[in-house]
Structure 1
Amino acid sequence: MKTKLSIYIVTLLLSVSNLFAHSRSEGSDPEKDKVIVYVLNNILSRYHYVKKQLDDDFSEHVYTDFINALDPRRRYFTQEDLEEFSQYKFTIDNQLKETNIDFYKLVYGRFLQKLESSKEAYRTLLKVPFNYKKKESISLDYDNLPFAKDAEELLDYWRKDLKFSILERIHMEELEQKEKAKEDASFQKKSFEVLEQDARAKVLENMNDLYTRIEELENSDWYSVFLNSVVSGFDPHTSYMSPKVKSRFDQDMSGKLEGIGARLQKKGMYTHIVELISGGPAWKQGDLEAGDIILKVAQADGEPTDIVGMRLDDAITFIKGKKGSEVRLTVKKKIDGSTKVISIIRDVVELEETFVKSSIVEKKGKKYGIIHLPRFYIDFNDTSRRDAAKDMEKEIQTLKEEGVSGLIVDLRSNGGGSLKTAIEIGGLFIDKGPIVQVKYRGEDPLVKNDIDEKIQWNGPLVVMVNEFSASASEIFAAAMQDYKRGVIIGGKQTYGKGTVQNLVPLNRFYDNYPSDLGALKMTIQKFYRINGGSTQIEGVYSDIALPSRYSYMDFGERDLDGALPWDKVQQAKYKTTNSYSNFQDVIYNSKQRVLKNDQFQKVNDYAKWLKDGQDKNVYSLNYNLYKANSDMEDAKREQFSNIFKFESNSEFTSPKYEQELFKKDSVLESKRLAWHKNLKKDMYVNEALNVLSELKMKNNNLLVKH
């Protein structure tokens, strides 16, 4: 098994995959549909980390997941439909073994019928104003919302859903008018009646656009949804990619992106920010965050285009543009639900910004180095090219030659990458020994060692992490923690992704098939720390946990349905480095500083408030109550508006070799200046420097420069 799979690229990236294949497909091909099921079943049963029984439980998962995928907001199917579907609830496993897809055909066929009938429903409902004085509410907890009993109750679901959308738009417009009135005393506000009519017309327009784009999708698009319901029964990181989705995935991995520098994903009617590309325009601008929802897109001063319900590919065409042009995004913030217009100047997002970079800062008369590692990168097709391990080694050498006394490795929001580079980077900080253990299904764990006795850095070390540090980041942080080689500081715990995926082209398992069958991203291994514990679910707990906006939020591997469990294996043979004379004292001092720091405590209060908001799922549909509740939330949000406002006295500079490059590369210089400005305003970096400056080595002789 290992020999066959070694030809595929092993990635440890924290995966965020799009459920829907939002692209035109080649149409229905029943024979191909059956072949894909056959090949997937063959590959998964033989090579997936979990030996999964295709039984009644598995059948129930596919049944529930596919229905929820087609109708996540409970707007199409009724309990009467589910009663008919339920004949297959515990037989899908048998159907899959026989490459029978009758369940898919029944549910998909009914879905198409419901799509058609729902068009008439929403168009009729939106012809006249709703009763905004009626005291009623809507639950957005769709996971626990029952399907409508019948067509009459389903229509009422639609009514409440459309009414809520209109209320959101009216309130948003009122806030925008309020800001305009502040800037222009002569500005005339629109009446509620006019705002309501405009909002209702806009919702109708968006719904029509949504259904136009839904009608563009063909059988193979929806079939991909079904296949993902099947493969997700093994674990949440295993997914099927149709040929066109795989093509976009390959482009995404090419290392060069244009536009605002953000990865987008469609969820329901909304376009979500999945990831900001380090060094890209959105990343430098600083206001956009993962999880935010883009509602409107405007070209500079032009009128904004509403993209709610818009096909993802179409939305991207509005967001992308020429280098130097301005795009204005109306965004709903994930963190507090506020609406904000964010202006971004488009640019080419260069691969260079995914590489290692470093900065030097002085504190108490000593120099310290900060190395930012955005991911554990490598070119698997040409290992002679630069990779994260080679670059880290060079960067550390540069910093040593500049005379730094301590080192911070910043792995915040690093989603992972190459296992090979994670092991080699770990080896830069110890003489030799185990870094991680990996395990295939049914086999003993393999201990992966650093075999190079050279230590590139034996001075004080602090590793920064957060809740989005995942996979290979967790391997490195766990190794440094187990060896007691460095202090881990940041979020309470890291993401907790302790699995490895391979990308498997299906045609390799079905010779001479005339067309592309797509690919399977499949979990094949599990990680374990050298102390024996898995990084799965638990991640790495920081030695010093700093309050953050995410402290109480529900997310991470532990919150994914079907995530593989935490377990442990035998501890590898290793000895702690015993590097520091005051390791525990430094950790204690930092914890005391944080407890006494008003700003950190306000962040903690903010995180609790955000958690309360995350748990809120019921909203009033009475406009006065809706507005009053929204105003209260806005007022509370305003109390926390400046909690992250911070500026240290430290000055951050680039290494001398980069300063020479600035003479010919003003773009690089501007990027580094922006980064240094952010470092100066980073309260978390400031505390990491406090910790680093206090660490004392038992052997104070740093490595000789060479």
Structure 2
Amino acid sequence: MNSIILFMKRNIKLVIVTILLSVSLFAFSAYEKSKSSSHDPEKDKLLIELLMFVIERGHYDPASIDDNLSKGIYKDFIDALDPSRRYFIQSDIDKFAKHETLIDDQIKNKEFTFFDLAYSTYVKRMEESQKFYKDILDEPIDYNVNESINTDYEKMPFAKNESELKERWRKQIKLSTLSSLTDKIKLQEEDKSENKKIKSFEELEKETRESSLKTLDDYFKFISELDRNDWFGVFVNAISSRFDPHTNYMAPDDKERFDVSISGKFEGIGARLQKKNDFTEITELISGGPAWRGKELEPGDVILKVAQGDGEPVDISGMRLDNVVKKIKGPKGTEVRLTVKKVDGTIKVISLIRDMVETEETYAKSSVVERNGVKYGIIYLPKFYIDFENKDSRDAGKDVAIEVERLKQQGVSGIIMDVRDNGGGSLKTAVDITGLFIEQGPVVQIKSAGTKKEVLYDRDAKVQWDGPLVVMVNNFSASASEILAAAIQDYKRGIVIGSKQTYGKGTVQNVIDLNQFVRGNTVGDLGALKTTTQKFYRINGGSTQLEGVSSDVVMPDRYSHINIGERDLENAMPWSKIDAAPYDTWKKQVNFEKALQNSKSRMALNEHFQLIEKNAKWTKERKDAAVYSLKFDEFKKEQEKIEAESKTFKPITDYQNDLKFKPIPEDEVVMQKDESFKEKRERWFESLSKDIYVEEALNVLDDLQGKPVTKGDINLKKKVVKSK
């Protein structure tokens, strides 16, 4: 999720920290040496020295450099090298274990005995593994044997010997080829074209082995091109991430990619990825990108294979994240096909056309809906954007103010503020937007290590909208979104509805270029460190860290029973509390408690929400499944059962309400002139007409203004089982 962007001119404390670092590190001079190879031991020492110095003095709450930290680094680095337990054997681990509590001392002494041992052993095991997979794929695979594989690698012990290791390779390759073979047979059965060539089972089996062999050859070729510096960067990250999940070392290439991503100008599918064991998981969809527009990919989906256009899908399990990114990225207008495992366990092939992220889609937009003679407005904000360097650029705070004014001109009786899937952005804009709905007062509290708290206020007594207000959130509303929702909730200014809780990211990060601290640098680019420098708190004193913001009205979604968010990250910083800031709750809300109770009662009776809750429990059950049959008939039967079960939840995506969402007049004028803009707005209106959560938000607005909700508004049973 996006880090909160602080209005740095106001944060003098961080500037002082940076000055202290600069003065202290000015003594670090570049090491004058001619390098005989790409590996420079002195550069490694300097990097570690800088890293620890910056973390110890700049991190919000740095952990002690002790045996506990050492154990964490040990675990993380072994997991990074061998997440699926397919390279190291137990005798390797026995050798490594001698260093488990010594890494902290090695860091202090700037020696890398553990790293050198693990790295050299890894290179050796990688070379040996190439013979394993070549031997396995050289002969036809027998899919009639009744055997299974457990893919819960985290709980799996390391192989006792090379024989057991090769057996793991055999089963993993068999699972991969079996999945591909099943897909090929299914596609052939579904192909209704004339003059199609029917391939035999044996032909398709051979094709899957050849494809798997090419994939593994490409993977090992890529690995062989990585040098010690690449793996040392992984080791450095194993150190930095032990302080908290958002403190990360960025090697020079990573820093360059980060700079590109924050500029918002890139071609691709518009998704953020992360490694989880051997797999690549979608963590966030970028507003305006092809994946976001397509609405088929979701956070939590795991990418299994990548295909270029009509090309053969490439299995990416075990592949390094940067190599996966290279396969998914590509020129605008080209097609990439992703085979993904959905959070409910179903397998789906999703086709996407690469494109530039559409900047217009990242800005605030509004719509008007009328029912029973009453008009309401909805404002959708994908992120809290601002550009401090360019005064003429768009500003989320100003844009939302404009949308509120336009909705007022349309005579709306209530407003929905939709920050679902909003990963955050500028803290300043979150304060400004909150100020549109409250009288002057505190909005958020910020605390740096060892300093007094700072309270950010809305100092404008003007209230731009004082009518009924609903804030919509979900599991992926983070950072600035949580500040807005928390402030509205603490003031009792409006009702927060959505997921059980928001993402739970209550920390602030800053990116520090490590090169700035080295005088006369001749060792080369040292990269950068993104580190946690502050925590922010609600005005009631509680942190949003881990706990997020709990919705006033909890609405079930498919993630209801899955840990998604900061609480799912290992080593996340704890929840904490500070003194509350003085504030007065909103006094004009007369139907607040009644609206809450009415909404809860409606959802308890709504069959569609009941189906969503049932789907959430099934999704949790499927996500935890880790054992797969490797017998063709059984595997196929299992997949068909999952697919049949998933179809029972199809009414969720087929849902339609009777609401007609319309553009505000200003947008209508643009729609008449710009076909692309018109198409995007109409697509948004269509998605709103399928959104039961928006429908319930409108019911809450009815309750807040004392309007009785009719049976038609409740929508208990109609269209629930409708399926296209």
TM over 0.5: yes
Secondary structure, in 3 states, of the residue corresponding to 1:398? helix
The answer to whether structure 1 residue 470 and structure 2 residue 481 are counterparts is no
Distance across 1 between alignment mates of 2:515 and 2:706: 55
Match of 1:377 in 2: 385
- Post-superposition Cα deviations, 1:635-664, rounded to whole Å, max 9, x if no partner, equal 211211222211222111221112222233
Pick one of 290, 299, 309 that aligns with 1:281.
Answer: 290
Which amino acid in the other structure matches residue 609 of structure 1? W
Q: How far apart are the structure 1 equivalents of 2:143 and 2:136?
A: 14
CA distance in 2, matches of 1:448, 1:337: 44
Indicate conservation of the 8 Å contact 1:8/1:504, yes or no: no
Deviation of residue 291 (structure 1)?
Answer: 3.4
Contact map agreement 1:532 1:572 (CA 8 A) in 2: yes
* Distance in 2 (alpha carbons) for counterparts of 1:269 and 1:536: 28
**Percent identical residues:** 49
- Tell me, yes or no, if the aligned pair for 1:8 and 1:503 is still in contact at 8 Å: no
> Which residue in the other structure is 2:168 paired with?
157
**Does structure 2 retain, via aligned residues, the 8 Å contact 1:172–1:339?**
no
Shift of 1:600: 0.9
Distance 1:111 1:345, change over 3 A: closer
Cα distance, 1:278 vs structure 2: 1.9
Q: Is the contact made by 1:481 and 1:487 (CA closer than 8 Å) also made in structure 2?
A: yes
Deviates more, 1:68-77 or 1:157-166: 157-166
The Cα shift of 1:313 comes to 6.0
Q: Is the 8 A contact 1:426 1:479 kept in 2?
A: yes
Partner of 2:671: 662
Equivalent residue letter for 1:128: E
Once the two structures are superposed, what CA deviation does each residue of 1:242-282 show, in whole Å capped at 9, x if it has no partner? 11111011111112232433344566665544432223333
Q: CA deviation at 1:308?
A: 2.5
Give the letter for the 1:337 counterpart. G
Corresponding residue for 2:591?
582
Q: Residues of 2 paired with 1:79 and 1:40: CA distance?
A: 32
Shift in Å, 1:508: 2.4
Deviation at 1:314, TM superposition (A): 6.2
Look up the match of 1:37. 48
Structure 2 residue 114 is the aligned partner of structure 1 residue 106: no
Q: Which residue pairs with 1:487 in the alignment?
A: 495
1:411 maps to a residue whose letter is: V
Q: Deviations over 1:381-416 (max 9, x none)?
A: 235633211111122112112221111111101111
**Offset at residue 343 of structure 1 (A):** 3.5
Q: Secondary structure at the match of 2:155?
A: coil
Greater CA drift, 462-471 or 334-343:
334-343
Contact 1:498 1:534 in 2 (8 A): yes
Q: Secondary structure at the match of 1:360?
A: strand
- Contact 2:382–2:419 under 8 Å retained in 1: yes
Partner of 1:683: 692
In the alignment, residue 372 of structure 1 is paired with which amino acid?
A: Y
In structure 2, what is the Cα distance between the partners aligned to 1:415 and 1:157?
Answer: 39
Cα distance change of structure 1 residues 294 and 329 upon mapping to structure 2, 3 Å threshold: farther
State yes or no: 1:527 paired with 2:539: no
SS of 1:643 mapped into structure 2:
helix
CA RMSD of aligned residues (A): 2.4
The partner residue of 1:405 within 407, 413, 424 is 413
**Following superposition of structure 1 onto structure 2, how do residues 394-433 of structure 1 map, counting pairs within 5 Å?**
394-433=402-441
Whether the 8 Å CA contact 1:296–1:304 is kept in 2: the answer is no
Amino acid at match of 1:199: T
Distance 1:311 1:64, change over 3 A: closer
Other structure's SS at 1:253 match? helix
| Distance in 2 between residues matched to 1:311 and 1:618, nearest whole Å | 24
Q: 1:87 to 1:318 in 2, by over 3 A?
A: closer
Distance 2:276 2:215 in 1: 15
Instruction: Tell me the residue number matched to 1:692.
Output: 701
Letter in 1 for 2:557: S
Please tell me whether the aligned partners of residues 343 and 622 of structure 2 are also in contact (alpha carbons under 8 angstroms). no
Report the alpha carbon displacement of residue 376 of structure 1 after superposing the two structures with TM.
1.0
Task: Tell me if structure 1 keeps the 8 A contact 2:345–2:619.
Answer: no
Tell me the amino acid that sits aligned with residue 166 of structure 1: T
**What residue number does 2:469 align with?**
461
* 2:552 alignment partner, one of 537, 543, 547: 543
Q: Determine if contact 1:378/1:418 at 8 Å carries over to the other structure.
A: yes
- The gaps in structure 2 that reach 5 residues or longer are 1-7, 19-36, 708-724
User: Which residue in 2 is equivalent to 1:20?
Assistant: none
C-alpha separation in 1, matches of 2:409 and 2:16: 40
* Secondary structure at the counterpart of residue 443 of structure 1: coil
Equivalent residue, structure 2, for 1:438: 446
Provide the secondary structure at the position in 2 that maps to 1:464.
strand
Residue 32 of structure 2 is matched in structure 1 by: none
The answer to whether the Cα contact below 8 Å between 1:328 and 1:341 also exists between their aligned partners in 2 is: no
Partner amino acid, structure 1, of 2:383: R
Displacement of 1:129 = 3.0
Query: Which residue does the alignment assign to 2:76?
Result: 65
Matches of 2:340 and 2:16 in 1, distance apart?
43
In the TM superposition, what is the alpha-carbon distance from 1:295 to its structure 2 partner?
A: 4.8
Which residues in structure 2 correspond to 1:66-465 (within 5 Å)? 66-180=77-191, 183-184=192-193, 187=196, 189-265=198-274, 272-295=281-304, 302-306=310-314, 308=316, 319-320=328-329, 323=332, 325=333, 327-383=335-391, 385-465=393-473
**Amino acid aligned to 1:303:** G
Letter in 1 for 2:113: D
TM-aligned CA deviation for residue 305 of structure 1: 4.5
* Code of the aligned partner of 2:177: I
Determine the structure 1 residue equivalent to 2:621: 612
| Contact 2:283–2:299 (CA under 8 A) maintained in structure 1 | yes
Q: Deviations over 1:281-300 (max 9, x none)?
A: 33222222233344555565
Q: Secondary structure at the match of 2:642?
A: helix
* Range moving further from structure 2, 374-383 or 493-502: 374-383
Task: Give the match's secondary structure for 2:635.
Answer: helix
Letter of the structure 1 residue corresponding to residue 429 of structure 2 = T
Distance in 1 of aligned mates of 2:492 and 2:13: 37
Q: Return the TM-score normalized by structure 1.
A: 0.91
Task: Report the CA distance between 1:507 and its aligned residue.
Answer: 1.6
Closer, same or farther: CA 556–316 of 1 in aligned 2, 3 Å: closer
Secondary structure of the equivalent of 2:168? Answer: helix
Amino acid at match of 2:581: A
SS at match of 1:143: helix
Structure 2 distance, partners of 1:219, 1:526, is 36
Aligned residue identity for 2:642? E
Check conservation: 1:459, 1:697, Cα contact below 8 A. no
CA distance in 2, matches of 1:274, 1:257: 18
Pair 126,322 (structure 1): closer, same or farther in 2 beyond 3 Å: closer
Change in CA separation of 1:658 and 1:581 when aligned onto 2, cut-off 3 Å: same
Residues in 1 aligned to 2:543 and 2:321: alpha-carbon distance in whole angstroms: 37
CA distance in 2, matches of 1:562, 1:343: 35
1:304 is displaced (CA, Å) by 3.9
Could you say if the C-alpha distance between residues 58 and 260 of structure 1 is closer, same or farther in structure 2, counting changes exceeding 3 Å? closer
Spell out, residue by residue over 1:12-65, the C-alpha distance to the aligned partner (whole angstroms, 9 max, x if none).
xxxxxxxxxxxxxx9422211111100010011111111311000000100111
The answer (yes or no) to whether the contact 1:257–1:350 under 8 Å persists in 2 is no
Residues 1:596 and 2:596 are matched in the alignment:
no
Q: Is the CA contact (8 Å cut-off) linking 2:304 and 2:341 kept in structure 1?
A: no
Q: What secondary structure is seen at the aligned counterpart in 1 of 2:76?
A: helix
SS of corresponding position for 1:165: helix
Determine whether 1:509 maps to 2:528.
no
Matched residues in 1 for 2:229 and 2:440: separation? 51
Give the whole-Å Cα distance in 1 for the aligned partners of 2:92 and 2:323.
33
Distance 1:345 1:242 in 2: 30
Runs of 5+ in structure 1 lacking a partner? 10-25, 699-706
**Does the CA-based 8 Å contact 2:84-2:278 persist in structure 1?**
no
1:411-439 CA distance string (max 9 Å, x none): 10111111111112111111111111111
CA contact (8 A) 1:359 1:653 kept: yes
Separation (CA, whole Å) in 1 of partners of 2:569 and 2:147: 32
